[in-house]
Structure 1
Amino acid sequence: MDQLSLPMDLQEDIPQNHLVRIINDAVNRLSMNLFTKAYPGGGRDSYHPKMLMKVIIYAYTQRIYSSRQFAKAVRENIMFMWLAARQRPDFRTINRFRPERMKDVLESVFTTVLQFLAEEKYVNLEHYFVDGTKIEANANRYTFVWGKAVVRHKMKLQEKVQSLFATIEKAEKQEEAALNGLDLCELGEAAAITSEKLDQAVKQLEAKLDKKPKDKPLKKAVRLVRKDLLPRLQKYEEQQQILGTRNSYSKTDHDATFMRMKEDHMQNGQLKPGYNVQIGTENQFMIGYSLHQRPTDTRCLKPHLEKVKTALGQLPRTIIADAGYGSEENYAYLNEEACNVVVKYSTYHKENSKSWQTDISKLDNWTYDEKSDAWTCAAGQKLAFRYESKTTTESGFEIRTSHYRSSTCDGCPLKPKCTKAKGDREIQVSMNYLHMKRQAREHLKSKEGYALSVRRMHEPESVFGQIKNNRGFRRFLLRGLLKVSLEVGWLSLAHNLLKKAATDKIAKVTVQV
C-alpha cells in the first residue's frame, strides 16, 4: 500500500467507453461564448465553468443531487476526480454555480447539446411526443393557502369594515358634526374596500381623534382598524397577489401549487405542493422541457411548445400527445403552426365502444344538416339553431358555442333514453371543435397515426421512469420556479448524455454480433 506505483494518470483506470468520457467530450465541444453571461469578469479567478458542468451532469446521472455530495464525490470518487482534474471545489462554489451562474446559460447549453445529437443522427426533430408529470416541491405539505378561503375571509373582513365605518358615520350624524371633510361612504361597497383606502380613512379618523381624545368609541374603532383589520386586509391582498390565477400555494415555496400526486405514500390521493413538468421526447431523448404551476396538462401545451419553438427556431413536424391535451384551443394552435396533429381527445376511446355507438343521446349518433343548420335526433325530431354564445379562455382564446333546441319532445317514446330534462331536448356544441375532433380521429385511425399513438405510450413514459424510478428523483431540492426549472434542465442534460451512452453501447454490441 505504501509503495509508489505507475501510472499516475487517472484516466488509465477509466474504460474508453465509460459515461464520463461522453460527458467530457460533449461539454468540451461547447463554445466558451455560451458562458459570457455567467462570467462578466472581475474578482478572483473562478473554477472553469466546463469543469463544474461536467461534475454536476455526471452527478445527476449517478443519483447525486446535493451540492455537499458533489463536493464529497470530487474528493473521493475517481470518476469525479478525473472530470475535476483533481480540483476540489467546495459545496458553496457548486451551489452558486448550479442555480445562480447558470440561470441564463443552461437552456442554451441544452439546445447546443441537442444540436450535437441531431448532427450525429440520434434525433431528427420530426416527431415530438409530449407528456407531463408532477414532481413534489421542496415545501411543507401542511402550510398551504387556498384561493377560495382567502376570498371568503377577505369578503367577511370588508363587510366588517363597512359596518364599522357605517356605525361611526351614524354616530357623527347624530352629533351633527363633520369629520373634517371625511366622507366614509367613499369606501364604497364592501368588495371595493382596499388596504390603501382603509389606511387613508384611518389617518383621517386619527386626525379627528386628536381633536376629540376622550371619544372612547372612536378611539376603540381606530385601534381595531389599525391593529387588526388593516393588517389582515393587507395580508389577504398579498396572498391574492401571490396566488395570481392559481387556487393554492405553499407558504414555504410560494411558486409551488398543491396538486394530487400519483406517488402518494399514504395511498389516498393526498394533495401535495409540486410542479407540473412537461417534456417532449424523440427516440427517448428529451427535446424540450418546461415547468408549470398548473396541475392539468391541457393549458400547458401552448406555453410549452412556444418555449420549444423559441429554442429550436421552429416546431417539429408532428406533435403526438394523449387525451389530456385534446382541447379546442390546443387543436387550433397546432393547426395555426401547420403541425401534423396526432392528439387524442377525452372521448376518443369511448367512441369505439358498442355502448357509445348505440347510445341515442350521443351527438355522434345524430345527423347534421349544414344547409338548415339543424340536428336530427334518433327519433327523427329536428333541433333548430337558437343562438350562439362566446366564451374567452384565460389565455384569450375565443370559443363559440351553438345552442340548439327541439321543437317538442312530448310523447316521444325515446325521450327517457335521450335526456333526463323535463322539457324539450337542448344541446350545446362548438362546431369548430367538432370539426377538429373529426380531423383528429382521421389522423389517429390512419396507419401512421396509429403507429405514432402506440409509440407515444413508451416514449415519454420511459423517460419519466428513468428520472423518477431509476435515478430516484421524486422531489425537488431547490425552491422557487426559476431554480426548480434549472433543476429540470440539469436532469434533461444528464438524461440525454446517459441515453447517448446507452445507445452507443447497444450499437457497439449489435455490430460485434
Structure 2
Amino acid sequence: MKHDHISFIDYNMDQLILPLDLEIKIPPNHLSRLVHQVVEQIDDKILYRVYPGGGRAAYHPKMMLKVILYAYTKGIYSSRKIASQLQENIYFMWLANYQQPDFRTINRFRSERMKDIIYETFFSIVDLLHQQGLIQLEEYFLDGTKIEANANKYTFVWRKATEKFDAKLDEKYRTIVAGIEAITKEDEKIEVESSLQERLDKNPVTSEQIKDTLSVLEKRLETEPKNKAIKKAKRQLEKDLLPRKQKYEAQKEIFNGRNSYSKTDKDATFMRMKEDHMKNGQLKPGYNVQIGTENQFIVGFSLHQRAGDPGCLQPHFGILESYGRPKPKALIADSGYGSEENYAFCDKKEIEAFVKYNTLDKEQTKKWKNQVGRVENMTYDEELDEWVCANNKRLTFAYEKKQKTDNGYITKKRTYRCLDCQGCPFQEICAKGKDTKTISVSLENQQQRREVRERLATEEGDKLYRRRKCDVEPVFGQIKYNRGFHRFLLRGLSKTTVEWGLICVAHNLTKWANQLKPKVKKEENNDKKVA
C-alpha cells in the first residue's frame, strides 16, 4: 500500500556530516553560558597557584571548575554522575569542549586542588555580583544551619566517656605499680621502684610513662626471669594498659575542645538535627554551617565544629577579615547570636548590630512584666551600685565572677543580694520563699540590651529585622529542598568546606541567572509593543 501523502523530516543515521558545533544548541540566556562567562573572569593566578607544574599535562582548571559548578546548580554532586553527564548532556559537553575527565580526576580536583582556593574563588564571584549592582555589601544577614556529615551515626566517641575510662586506667596503673613495690625485697630495687612511684604521684599518667615502667620491668626480669608477679604486671601493661592509654591520648587530641566526634569523619561533631525523620531530636554527626546573605545572594560562609551559633559569629567574621572583605555597615541576625560577646565584637568592629537577644520578645508580654523577681523588672541605682526591687528593697553587691568564652572573651557577672526579704509580700514569688533574694547580672550586657532595644525600635531597625526572614532563611530552603543538598558527600573539615563553598557559588549563579530572565522577557514585550 502506498502512502504518497505522508512526509517525514529527513532522518538518516548513516549520512556523513561534519561535527556539530554544540554552541548553536545553547540558548542565549542559558545558565551554562553564565557559568562560562563568570569563570572566565576569575583571575588565572588563583587557579594556577595550586598546580606545581611538571609531569603530564592536566585538564584546564577553568574547564573543571565550570563543569563542577554547573553540575552543582543542577543538584548533581556525585563525581561519577558528573563524569556521566560529560558523555550525555550537551551543556556539560559544551562547557568541557568535548573533554571527558573521569570521576577520579573530577573528585581530585574538587577535594585537593580547590581546598586552598575555595574562598578566593567564591569571593571573586561575589565581587562580580557587586560590580553588576546586584549586592551592595553594606547589610549582612547572618544565619546558620546544621548539615549532616558523611558518617555513620553510630560511630560516636564521647569526651566524658573517654575521660572516665582514662581515669580508671590510671587507677589500674597505680595499683599495678603499688603491687610491684610490695613484692620488691632488695634495697637497690626498692629505691628504683620508689622513685618511679614518686614520679607517678606528681605527674599525670602518660603512655611514655607506661613505656618507662615496662623498661624497668624488663630489666627486673633479666635478673628474676621466673618472677610470675613481674611477668603478669608486664603482660598487663604491654597488652592492655599501653594500647588503651595510646588510644585515649589520640582521642583527646582529636576532641580539641569538642564533646564528641565520629570515627568515620573525625572532624564531624554530633549535633541535634532539625531534619530528623524519627522526630526525636536524634544526635547525628554534622557541621554547623554559617552564611551571610544580601538580596538572597550568599556573600560569606564558614563551617564550624561547634553546635551553638553564638560562638560562631566571631570566627565567621575572622575568615572574612583574613580575605580582606569589606566590612558591612549593619549585621542582622536572630536571637541565637544575641550574646554579650557578639555585641562587644560588633561594637569593636564598628558594625551596627540589629541582633535580638533571647528574651527580647518575652519582655514585651504582660506575664513577663508581672514577674517581679526578674532583673529586667528591677531598677538599677548606678551611683550606689544597687538594684531596687518592686517593694523598694535594695539588693547590694556581694561578689564578682569572671567567665571566659571559647573565643577568649571575658564576661563579668556581678552577684547582688537582698538581706531584707523576710515579711515582704513578694517573698514567695520573688525570692522563692527564701530569706535572701540573689541575682547574677552583667552590667555590660544590660547596657548592650538597652541599646539593642532602642535600635530595633526605630523604623530602620524594624524594617531590617523583618527583611531577615525573607533574605537569609529562604537561601537554606533553596539549597536543601530545591537542590536536594541535605548531607555532605566528602569527609573532613577542609573537604566539606570546599563542598559547601561550591554550593554557595552554585546558588549565587542560579540566582543571578534567574534575575536576568525577567529583564529579557520585559525587553521582548517592549519590542512587540513598539512594533
Give TM class, smaller chain: over 0.9
The alpha-carbon deviation at position 142 of structure 1 amounts to: 0.5
Tell me the equivalent position of 2:250. Answer: 238
Tell me the equivalent position of 2:181. Answer: 169
Alignment counterpart, residue 160 of structure 1, candidates 172, 181, 188: 172
Q: Once the two structures are superposed, what CA deviation does each residue of 1:166-201 show, in whole Å capped at 9, x if it has no partner? A: 1211222x5655256232313434971111112111
Q: Do residues 276 (structure 1) and 288 (structure 2) align?
A: yes
1:246-325 counterparts in 2 under 5 A?
A: 246-325=258-337
Alignment counterpart, residue 207 of structure 2, candidates 185, 190, 195: 195
How far apart, in 2, do the equivalents of 1:187 and 1:163 lie? 15
1:104-503 counterparts in 2 under 5 A?
A: 104-172=116-184, 176=187, 178-179=189-190, 181-182=192-193, 183-189=195-201, 192-420=204-432, 422-503=434-515
Alignment counterpart, residue 17 of structure 1, candidates 26, 29, 46: 29
Alignment counterpart, residue 48 of structure 1, candidates 34, 57, 60: 60
SS of the residue 1:169 aligns to: helix
How far apart, in 2, do the equivalents of 1:84 and 1:150 lie? 50
- Return closer, same or farther for 1:380/1:180 CA change in 2, 3 Å cut-off: closer
SS of the residue 1:375 aligns to: strand
Q: Is the contact made by 1:158 and 1:191 (CA closer than 8 Å) also made in structure 2?
A: no
How far apart, in 2, do the equivalents of 1:388 and 1:507 lie? 62
How far apart, in 1, do the equivalents of 2:415 and 2:434 lie? 18
In structure 2, runs of 5+ residues without a counterpart are: 1-11, 527-531
Q: Do residues 65 (structure 1) and 65 (structure 2) align?
A: no
The AA in structure 2 aligned to 1:439 is E
- Return closer, same or farther for 1:85/1:409 CA change in 2, 3 Å cut-off: same
Q: Once the two structures are superposed, what CA deviation does each residue of 1:408-428 show, in whole Å capped at 9, x if it has no partner? A: 211111111112262310111
How far apart, in 1, do the equivalents of 2:244 and 2:166 lie? 8
How far apart, in 2, do the equivalents of 1:459 and 1:179 lie? 74
The alpha-carbon deviation at position 312 of structure 1 amounts to: 4.0
The alpha-carbon deviation at position 309 of structure 1 amounts to: 2.1
Q: Is the contact made by 2:146 and 2:288 (CA closer than 8 Å) also made in structure 1?
A: yes
SS of the residue 2:98 aligns to: coil
Tell me the equivalent position of 2:8. Answer: none
How far apart, in 2, do the equivalents of 1:267 and 1:393 lie? 32
SS of the residue 2:189 aligns to: coil
Equivalent residue pairs, number: 512
How far apart, in 1, do the equivalents of 2:426 and 2:330 lie? 43
- RMSD value over aligned CA atoms? 1.6
How far apart, in 2, do the equivalents of 1:168 and 1:155 lie? 20
The alpha-carbon deviation at position 65 of structure 1 amounts to: 0.4
Q: Is the contact made by 2:402 and 2:413 (CA closer than 8 Å) also made in structure 1?
A: yes
Tell me the equivalent position of 1:34. Answer: 46
The AA in structure 2 aligned to 1:30 is I
Q: Once the two structures are superposed, what CA deviation does each residue of 1:291-331 show, in whole Å capped at 9, x if it has no partner? A: 00001101000000111122243321101111111111111
The alpha-carbon deviation at position 136 of structure 1 amounts to: 0.5
The AA in structure 1 aligned to 2:192 is G
Q: Once the two structures are superposed, what CA deviation does each residue of 1:110-156 show, in whole Å capped at 9, x if it has no partner? A: 11111111011010001000000101100111011000000000001
Between stretches 206-215 and 7-16, larger displacement belongs to: 7-16
The AA in structure 2 aligned to 1:97 is F
Runs of 4+ in structure 1 deviating by more than 4 angstroms, as ranges, are 4-7, 174-177
Q: Is the contact made by 1:111 and 1:312 (CA closer than 8 Å) also made in structure 2?
A: no
Q: Structure 1-normalised TM-score?
A: 0.97
Q: Is the contact made by 2:47 and 2:62 (CA closer than 8 Å) also made in structure 1?
A: no
Q: Once the two structures are superposed, what CA deviation does each residue of 1:384-440 show, in whole Å capped at 9, x if it has no partner? A: 112222122222211111111112211111111112262310111000011011111
How far apart, in 2, do the equivalents of 1:220 and 1:82 lie? 71
The alpha-carbon deviation at position 227 of structure 1 amounts to: 0.7
Higher gyration radius (CA): 2
Identity over the aligned pairs, expressed in percent?
A: 50
How far apart, in 2, do the equivalents of 1:53 and 1:352 lie? 51
SS of the residue 1:272 aligns to: strand
SS of the residue 1:334 aligns to: helix
In structure 1, runs of 5+ residues without a counterpart are: none
SS of the residue 1:178 aligns to: helix
Q: Is the contact made by 1:37 and 1:104 (CA closer than 8 Å) also made in structure 2?
A: no
